[in-house]
Amino acid sequence: MAVFANVKNEGKVIQLTSDNFKSIVLDSQQDVLVKFFIPWCSHC
């Protein structure tokens, strides 16, 4: 099943850390997309 939404592309990529995850993701008043990445594992 595919889901589409009107999304504004702000062009801003933020590196999340244990110090900023709560304030940026959990406390956000807007939707947030988190992409997990590790260098040794290729993109699925």
DSSP string, 4-35: --------------TTTHIIIIIT-SS-----
- Encoding tokens for residue 3? 């889901």
- Per-residue confidence (pLDDT) for residue 35, from 0 to 100: 84
Q: Do 29 and 38 form a contact (C-beta atoms < 8 A)?
A: no
Percentage of the chain surpassing pLDDT 70? Answer: 73
Report the run of H or E that residue 21 belongs to, with start and end. Answer: helix 21-21
User: Which residue type, as a one-letter code, is found at position 38?
Assistant: I
The residue assigned the tokens 């993109």 is 43
pTM confidence score: 0.57
